[in-house]
Chain A
Amino acid sequence: MTATGDPILESRDLNVRFATPDGEVHAVRGVDLRVRAGETIAIVGESGSGKSQLMMATMGLLAQNGRTEGSVRFRGQELLGLSARALNRYRGQKLSMIFQEPMTSLDPLYTIGRQIAEPLVHHKGISRAEARPRVLELLKLVGIPEPERRLDSYPHELSGGQRQRAMIAMALANGPEILIADEPTTALDVTIQAQILELLADLQRRLGMAIVFITHDLGIVRDFAERVYVMQEGRVVETGPTAQILARPEHAYTQMLLAAEPEGRKPTVPAGEPLLLEGRDLKVVFRIGGGWLSRVRHEVRAVDGIDLVLREGQTLGVVGESGSGKSTLGRALLRLLPSEGAIRYKGRDLQGQDRAALRPLRRELQLVFQDPFGSLSPRMTVGQIVTEGLLVHEPELSAKERDRRAAQALEEVQLDPLMRNRFPHEFSGGQRQRIAIARAMILKPKLVVLDEPTSALDRSVQKQVLALLRELQAANGLTYIFISHDLAVVRAMADEVLVMKDGRVVERGITEAIYERPHEAYTRALIAAAFRHEARSGVS
């Protein structure tokens, strides 16, 4: 269905600037945008492209240091420069918005029912009791289970997906003409993501409002939006019907975004290769509580009896949703967490070795973290960070020699070695992840656990980091354990896959076999959710 007629929301030459202590940031640069009644548009761009600020400006939600220029009209009425009171005749009534962070976007101190009722109470002038049936209706509409009970629940008693549904219910309370959804599924697990997208599509069919979808994920756009705006550095670089943009992208940036989906497959390692790492009946149990006076002791079995075998040169992909225990498994295998069961590295038992005995082995067993902002010590230079392992494992090296090695290691991860005296905060996310990789690689490890190494990165950067990891593996004969919630990435990187849920292995096998012929329902759901856009667009 393609909407026609005059646009109901129209921005012309919209500029957003932020005054910061380090100078002015021009976040949105002269954007023209139109939304017609009942249509779905998508604004696509990577982090920092200004796509969120564009809509924040429309809704009058900019931070205090933000200024706008240009014009945004809703049905002819200029919205920019309206007082908060005047703007509130539109916000929550004609225009409403949902956000990326379902965990924090609801007030933790009030019940769901009360919060959903608030837009009704304040815009329609009805009492909270009168609003209750409508709230219940809304909760049913967004598919929250047991809506009567949930009315009186607090946000912390709901799961992430349920909270996002509650957010949507709140946004729909007054039947808006436009719903702005700012990365509404990014913080959710893949299976939940799919459900929320389904819900939004369904609601649009039933209620007929226009949806403005802000996302970094072209996969969602493919299936969902009629028109696309591609944004880069505050500007709209390309716009048009979705099918046309996806099929024949004209701007280089759009082409890059489209090409950024990870590609390639890793060939299987022959069964004859020597065993590197072996885990038998591995268990990690966290005990929560049990202080001085509290008798309540709570046990969480984060990893619950896992066996695995890793041969040299292999990449084992570990996939699962958040809380499945995949990160814990990676840390336990490196003995960074206490665990039960056997861990053998090159036939040697790792369990029962003390810290000193493990130290020489540490250089062969390395770890790369998800968050490149948290994993680099903020007050050390990049050179110091990269060479810290050498202090432990090659203490005889002179400072000069270490410096030379740092330069070499940075070059290996394609960073300018002249930057080795700089500090982590001076680098972008992708650069930082390269530094983290260099820190692991300088020790010439045999096994590297990669814990969501690309999840915090934009797609285009992600692709480059994956390529780097692949090159390093080929050049140094590395073995990887690749932990990720992103099934597309794992498919490109791993030759064997282990699917985890609630600390247990649901399914395992050769990557292609798992992706082509999943046996378990859970695996099928994960794959369907991750690849549903590709699959559908393949059909169409």
Chain B
Amino acid sequence: MLSYVARRFFGAVPTLFIIVTVAFFLIRVAPGGPFDLERPLEAKVMENLNRIYQLDKPLWHQYLLYLESLLRGDLGPSFYFRDFSVSELFARGLPISIQLGCAALLLALLVGGLLGVIAALRQNRGTDVAVMATATFGITVPNFVVAPLLTLLFAIWLGWLPAGGWGDGALANKILPILTLALPQIAIIARLTRGSMIEMLRANHIRTARANGLPGYVVVGVHALRGALLPVVSYLGPAAAALLTGSVVIETIFGIPGVGRYFVQGALNRDYTLVMGTVIMIALFIIVFNLIVDLLYAVLDPRVRYD
């Protein structure tokens, strides 16, 4: 098992390398630079800045320098947030994004899974239709619509919750962002669970369990659910990676200091190191969560073995 994990990480290195290379050159080809402000800087100042940040060197040299600093685990200084290094920015924002993402994921898994199972057991009846219509709603309505609508309802009309801001992590400030993050996931997980649950309930081994007179909770909870979870688990990998790395929309609307907004901000400001850092962070999350999914698979399904 350990050797498998090691092999997977080893195997991810070339992918990561290609991603870093492509991203590095793509963003450098884009016109403009990090110090192109509204009012152009003096040539001398510009030259100094470029020298300090080593932007005066040929591109391939910069690339090698960047790779070298990466190997040291250094993501470089941010060009836009002058006083911070990229790592410092992540160290501040990532815990917040992970906190929100984890809560949303957990909520989505519990509520979505439950709804999916209920819908599958009541297939094509009222409950099922209602759950699926709600799920379609959740998938259809984008978060940048949900977020303002929730704000309108809970913050402006009812006045129960604050309309935005982080408030140093007060619970009331987290509720709406978590809800907004979780809603589409609830919908997707409910649909997935329902689909695989229905398939499972028709499976031959479920018929066997019924023929043996096993009680309903055993048939559903022990035999059907475990198999039905497999597709949900493989969906959760990429979903978790996306949730934990923050959402630009939610951070913008609710004013949350997470890491989701760094990519867009970085790209717009030509903050090369910040963009690169974000790309690497997201790629790492994807790689790690795909691995976790595969390992979970092996736990859930004895037919899967990694030796």
Chain A directly contacts chain B within the complex, with at least one CB pair under 8 Å: yes
Known: A88-B213, A93-B213, A109-B302. A122 touches B208 (CB 8 A): no
Number of interface residues of A (CB under 8 A): 37
Q: Say yes or no: B123 contacts A122, CB within 8 Å.
A: no
Chain B residue at minimal CB-CB distance from A101: B204
Which residues on B sit within 8 Å (CB–CB) of A110? 222-223
Of the candidates B203, B213, B216, B303, which one forms a contact with A92 in the assembled complex, judged by CB atoms under 8 Å apart? B213
- B141 CB to closest chain A CB (Å) equals 31
Which residues of chain B are within 8 angstroms of A107 by Cβ–Cβ distance?
205, 208-209, 223, 227
Contact status B215-A85, CB under 8 Å:
yes
Q: Cβ of B204 and Cβ of A154 under 8 Å apart?
A: no
Of A63, A64, A96, A122, which is within 8 A of B218 by CB? A122
CB of A123 within 8 Å of the partner chain: yes
Question: Cβ of A118 and Cβ of B214 under 8 Å apart?
Answer: yes
Query: Are A61 and B212 closer than 8 Å at their CB atoms?
Result: no
* A106 B205 Cβ-Cβ under 8 A: yes
Contact B211 A59 (CB under 8 A): yes
Task: Indicate with 1 or 0, residue by residue over A150-185, a CB within 8 angstroms of chain B CB atoms.
Answer: 000010100000000001001101000000000000
Interface residues of B, dominant DSSP: helix
* Bound form: Cα–Cα A167–B204 in Å: 12
Q: Which of B205, B215, B216 contacts A108 (CB 8 A)?
A: B205
- Bound complex: CA A524 to CA B303 (Å): 36
Across the interface, which residues of A come within 8 angstroms of B302, CB to CB? 108-109, 154, 156
Q: How far is the CB of B287 from chain A (nearest CB, A)?
A: 15
Q: Which of A14-71 contact B (CB under 8 A)?
A: 59-61, 63-64
Which chain A residues numbered 344 to 376 have a C-beta less than 8 Å away from chain B?
none
Most buried by B among A97, A107, A110: A107
Interface: B72 (CB within 8 A): no
What sequence of 0s and 1s flags, for each residue 104-133 of chain A, a beta carbon within 8 Å of any chain B beta carbon?
Answer: 111111100000001100110000000000
Summarize A's interface: helix, strand, loop or mixed. loop
Chain B residues contacting A521 (CB-CB under 8 Å) are none
Instruction: Check B11 for interface membership: any CB of A closer than 8 A.
Output: yes
- A80-97 CB mask vs B (1 if < 8 Å, else 0) is 000011011111110011
Q: Check if B92 is an interface residue, CB within 8 A of chain A.
A: no
List residues of A (275-333) whose CB comes within 8 Å of B's CBs. Answer: 292-293
The residue on A at minimum CB distance from B216 is A84
- Cβ of B268 within 8 Å of any chain A Cβ, yes or no, is no
A99 at the interface (CB under 8 A from B): yes
CB <8 Å contact, A118 and B301: no
A99 lies within 8 A of B207 (CB): yes
Is A122 a contact of B205 with CB atoms below 8 Å? no
A-chain residues with CB within 8 Å of residue B202 when the two chains form the complex: 63
Question: Is A91 in contact with B211, judged by CB distance below 8 angstroms?
Answer: yes
B303 touches A108 (CB 8 A): yes
Cα separation A88 to B11 with both chains bound (whole Å): 51
B205 A105 Cβ-Cβ under 8 A: yes
Pairwise interchain contact A99-B208, C-beta atoms closer than 8 A: yes
13 pairs from A and B in contact (CB 8 Å cutoff): A85-B216, A91-B211, A92-B212, A92-B213, A96-B212, A99-B211, A105-B205, A108-B205, A108-B227, A110-B223, A118-B209, A293-B7, A293-B11
Add 11 more A-B contacts to A59-B211, A85-B216, A99-B211 (CB < 8 A): A64-B123, A91-B213, A92-B211, A99-B204, A99-B207, A105-B205, A106-B205, A107-B227, A118-B212, A119-B213, A122-B214
* Residues of A participating in the B interface, judged by any CB pair closer than 8 Å: 59-61, 63-64, 84-85, 87-93, 96-97, 99, 101, 104-110, 118-119, 122-123, 154, 156, 167, 170-171, 173, 292-293
Nearest first, the 9 closest Cβ-Cβ pairs linking A and B are A92-B213, A91-B213, A92-B212, A88-B213, A104-B204, A107-B205, A97-B211, A119-B212, A154-B302
